[in-house]
Amino acid sequence: MAEPFYITTAISYPNGRPHIGHAYEAIATDAIARFQRLRGRDVFFLTGTDEHGLKMAQAAREKGVPPAEFAEEMSSTFKAMDDALNISYDRFIRTTEPAHHQASQAIWRAMAAKGDIYLGRYEGWYSVRDEAYYGEEELVVADSGEKLSPQGTEVEWTVEESWFFRLSAYQDRLLAHYADNPDFIRPESRRNEVLRFVEGGLADLSISRTSFDWGVKVPDSPNHVMYVWLDALTNYITGLGYPEDTEAYRKFWPADIHVIGKDVVRFHAVYWPAFLMSAGIPLPKQVFGHGFLLSRGEKMSKSVGNVVDPLDLIRAFGVDQLRYFLLREVNFGQDGSYSAEAIVTKVNADLANSFGNLAQRTLSFIARNCDGVLPRGGKGDAADEALLSQVRAATREELPAQFEALALSQGIEAWLRAVFACNQYIDAQAPWTLRKSDPERMQAVLATLYEAIVDLAVAIQPIIPGSAAKLLDNMGVPAGERTYAALADPGRYERLAGSGFVLQPPSGIFPRLEMPAEG
């Protein structure tokens, strides 16, 4: 039976249109999900939108529409982005779904039954933009003298009746969990931040609001709505059918990994596990806080005018080209930067000039000079075996090991080294010269290249799924032979060559990119 694997993004807050940061998280999570599927695991991939809270209510009011109508409109833009990016989610969840309200109320009742919820009065600093509470000691003072959150966002003094969660009671249990499970929070820098925060002491957490009504109603307290983060975090179990004892919940919970931005690590690595401990629910296995994407090294903001719509980037560069650039160029877990020039340069160098050109000239040569009949091996030599050994090591060992460790950029780098080796091999072997001088040797060279290109295309599918599928279709590789297990099948190539498949002249998989016109 296939081993289950449950992966999630942080659900997006749709008070504005999606930006490149949302796209990056979706792409990276999708690559991990696709990789695990190709390894033979039974994957469930959840993403969606977090539609409650004060920010959403305010944004709807500014637009002059009811919050529900605004949430419907904005959520659809995030789903459209995911679909345009070829994100292979199994469920796109929305927190306005009735099933999610039921799940949120169920976890509330479980926490209340544990004695961890009590009624009190909240007086303190609240950031509407972050939907987060901050202690006085966490605030920073701007040059103007204004108090700001640690993220530099505005805070306001809030006073209202509130239900509280006894977060303070979970400090020792959380620290013990971190110690017993050192990979629970990754990368190491995020883990250290969380440890410092929890070791500094935990105050009880306000988990309801009375100053607005756009949210999940608190059970038996209808004038209160749940704190948006309690509601939002619950989506990860709602998506599997909680509180019902569903087959999906039994199979996939606890989650293998929550992929989130580094700015929401506290919610996922402190509040969420404490809520789950209180409710008697197993904890997820890992929380991975990736870095930010910067535009030419600067943080994106509407005031600076450097916020880019991912759909504009797709139109300018292509889906797989964008996916490849972001996952190759940004070390997963660290901040990264992008620009149009960087995308064009990297994609042209790696995909158009290296992998695309390798596939194009090899397959075109077979189509023209072998009538499209796949070449048989034969007059092989040490150079053939040396190349295939390097390609096999990259596609069967190095790339999978790096992807398993979430080192996506390093996995692509190993793959690219094998691509470069193939280009060096074709230049050295010169099949266009062998066509007249040694046709049998030409067949062996082409067979070696064909086998190597198939392996490279199969291995890179999680990163450039559409382009890899197009290439593998062109090469006659059956859908069932595009897994990592298939790479280790020694009879695969001979079976393919003997299938009677005739290669058609290929069309370019990766046309060279040009800088988009200034608009």
- 293-295 and 217-218 beta bridge pairing: unpaired
DSSP state of 280: T
Cβ 350 vs Cβ 416: under 8 Å = yes
Question: Phi and psi dihedrals of 270, rounded to 5?
Answer: -120, -60
Q: Give the C-alpha separation, 259 to 404, whole Å.
A: 14
pLDDT at 390: 98
Other CB atoms within 10 A of residue 150 CB: 14
245 half-sphere exposure, CB direction, 13 A CA radius: 0
Q: Which strand (E) or helix (H) includes residue 164?
A: strand 156-165
Decide: residue 450, CB within 10 A, 0-12 exposed, 13-18 middle, 19+ buried: buried
- pTM for the complete prediction? 0.94
The string of pLDDT tens digits covering residues 320-345 is 999 999 999 999 999 999 999 999 99
Residue showing tokens 């296939």: 2
pLDDT at 519: 46
**Could you tell me which residues are beta bridge partners of residue 120?**
162
The string of pLDDT tens digits covering residues 412-431 is 999 999 999 999 999 999 99
Cβ 133 vs Cβ 206: under 8 Å = yes
449 half-sphere exposure, CB direction, 13 A CA radius: 30
Taking residues 300-310, what's their average pLDDT?
65
Tokens of 240: 């599997």
- Single out the residue of 226, 204, 262, 195 nearest to residue 54, CA to CA: 226
Taking residues 219-243, what's their average pLDDT?
96
Counted residue by residue, the chain has a size of: 519
464 half-sphere exposure, CB direction, 13 A CA radius: 27
> pLDDT > 90: what percent of the chain?
84
DSSP state of 396: I
Amino acid at site 420: F
pLDDT at 509: 87
The string of pLDDT tens digits covering residues 364-409 is 999 999 999 988 777 779 999 999 999 999 999 999 999 999 999 9
The string of pLDDT tens digits covering residues 178-219 is 999 999 999 999 999 999 999 999 999 999 999 889 999 999
Where in 231-371 does DSSP place strands (E)?
Answer: 257-261, 287-290, 293-295, 336-338
Q: Give the C-alpha separation, 356 to 314, whole Å.
A: 19
Tokens of 7: 């992966």
Q: Give the C-alpha separation, 268 to 496, whole Å.
A: 47
For the chain, the average pLDDT equals 94
Cβ 75 vs Cβ 238: under 8 Å = no
Q: Give the C-alpha separation, 12 to 19, whole Å.
A: 10
pLDDT at 479: 93
Tokens of 295: 């535009």
The string of pLDDT tens digits covering residues 253-299 is 999 999 999 999 999 999 999 999 999 999 999 999 999 988 766 66
- Single out the residue of 8, 225, 239 nearest to residue 105, CA to CA: 225
pLDDT at 297: 63
**Does the structure show a pLDDT above 50 at 467?**
yes
pLDDT at 518: 63
pLDDT at 304: 52
The string of pLDDT tens digits covering residues 32-43 is 999 999 999 999
509 half-sphere exposure, CB direction, 13 A CA radius: 33
Between 491 and 288, the higher pLDDT residue? 288
Q: How would residue 151 be classed by pLDDT, with cut points 50, 70 and 90?
A: confident
**Does the structure show a pLDDT above 90 at 303?**
no
**Does the structure show a pLDDT above 60 at 436?**
yes
pLDDT at 492: 85
**Does the structure show a pLDDT above 80 at 302?**
no
pLDDT at 124: 84
Question: Torsion over CA of 130, 136, 142 and 144, rounded to 10 degrees?
Answer: 110
- Single out the residue of 469, 215, 512, 170 nearest to residue 343, CA to CA: 512
Q: How would residue 145 be classed by pLDDT, with cut points 50, 70 and 90?
A: confident
Question: Torsion over CA of 170, 127, 230 and 110, rounded to 10 degrees?
Answer: 50
pLDDT at 489: 87
Question: Torsion over CA of 93, 98, 103 and 108, rounded to 10 degrees?
Answer: 120
Domains and CATH numbers, the chain: 4-291 (3.40.50.620), 339-497 (1.10.730.10)
pLDDT at 300: 57
**Does the structure show a pLDDT above 90 at 14?**
yes
Tokens of 156: 């306001």
Q: Give the C-alpha separation, 333 to 190, whole Å.
A: 9
Q: Give the C-alpha separation, 266 to 252, whole Å.
A: 24
386 half-sphere exposure, CB direction, 13 A CA radius: 9
The string of pLDDT tens digits covering residues 51-90 is 999 899 999 999 999 999 999 999 999 999 999 999 999 9
